[in-house]
Structure 1
């Protein structure tokens, strides 16, 4: 493999296209070497089989990146909580949270998710068009769900927009500013933990506090950082994908009409849209080989980092027939929620939120259309509209 590193990431912030550089990388043998804005060079996995291997093989470590000059998109270099852990530490923390996100628990939450979605559309209809799909619907829906699940007061929900933006920013903040914002979030959550400790409730935070205080299964720092991870990861990607999915469907009117005629297809449409939309601006979390590992026809030496381009892997022509076509009903083989031990903990919750969001938007707003120019997020780990004016 050529060890000459090329600048990365490839995708532009404006739009949802998959950059042609990924196609070029997939056409080459082995993997290409990339240089992110900060940290050491890394190999880039762009093909489906490569991605599955790197994400699923436990000889690749995320914890190793904590002590290394890990390749990254921002200056600040901090541990990513549970994402920066390997088993068994990762397994211990994941097990504590996983019971809140089981398929059964999510189905119990679905009526509440639908109620949130319906109420938000009620408010948009009452105010009249145009509305901002992001501010008026896509953001408040998952924020309301995750805050209720965790036990965050409704009055405090707006504060998480800035904290989440800061934590997912790849530019605009110095390392000191980034650390200060993260410190504010941790201080807030630490205070909320104390309130829940004094008056336990039927929510995830109280359950985690019980695991901390009664079973001594996690430290106070781990408790706060777990809550932060659940809050941020629990809403930002879904808040981005709702307008992303709507944009893609508006660009495929025949698919939009198909969903309105066959509501039962919405779950499989969500799966295909997860595959089709390259959400990330680039690879996010470096994984270090703890020994020599063969990835397809490439050999990664011990100590070398690999980044995984999930969006490119989901559009790999060697695995998906006509990968650039939107086809509902494909077998569920995408890795939009990751793979392996770090597979998205909230995948079932995200699926339910995306399904209910599409359902209410498609059927309550039959004339749904763009009503102005989309303003895109910039310098963020995830891509999507910052504002998206719509009418109906």
Structure 2
């Protein structure tokens, strides 16, 4: 509690003094002592009513944990809250202490109903837009859940993210590309835009057991759940494009409560790892898709320039004047295809025009020569005919 409400304090003295004062007024009581040695405090019925009146109406307060007594009237140590609930509370506390939202930025057990009858509940839902994380779902694991169960949670979250919004057109949703598809999905009507490609990010916070066991758990989850967070390759990998399309993927980050509390910067430090990456980063860096759309745009432009360079290098030169073909001439030949036996395909545009002009001049000269020869032959024939007529009259 003191990490959440007074993160600047180095110890919990102020929080303990406040709780003891509230205990004297009947607002809170000690539910039980945890294995860690910490006391678990809960609201009494009086405190529960008081909190309801103080909190905003849109903030959901947890159910009242009533005190139970044995047959002799002695209080029974509570069993309603356990180590998992304490770990969830501590997770919210350390993140709030790192300025990820405020104590009112958190909600627990938010339901995500699926059409096949299952409801996926998130341990925590964080909204911290001022810290660059508009929304994030958190799952806390004390290294006691099977990895298959953790993977199933990601599968169900993915199923929920893919649900159509009411009255959304399925045909338009199938035709949409990139972030445009979110407009047709139910989740975009409930959660704010994340600011990155992909669905709402999911964080797994591990705690308990040994560091080696926590590391093994993260690696096994990474292997088992790759289909849900890895994204897809953009087209053009053969042309040097290595960027990843994350628009239909769940950004998944992992951390450890022990790592957070040991880091001087707490949850604001480099204590987060994005599944699919090796390095530990800040939460903002981990959620950023440096190898996503931005990289694709850069690589696509580079690929276009390389293609243009290759085409320029392969571009034919004129067999007559030696000049390279212009873009217009080269694109015309590429689009039409080479003609078998057409020598003009070897000429640039100006030389081709000169070639056809010369051919036309030669044809015109040939036609003129034929006409002249025919006319001279006709004139000679006429003179010969007249000569023959004059000779006959003299005889």
TM-score w.r.t. the length of structure 2 is 0.21
Q: Greater strand percent: which structure? A: 2
Larger Cα Rg: Structure 1 or Structure 2?
2
For normalisation by structure 1, the TM-score amounts to 0.21
Higher relative contact order by CA 8 Å / sep ≥ 6: 1 or 2? 1
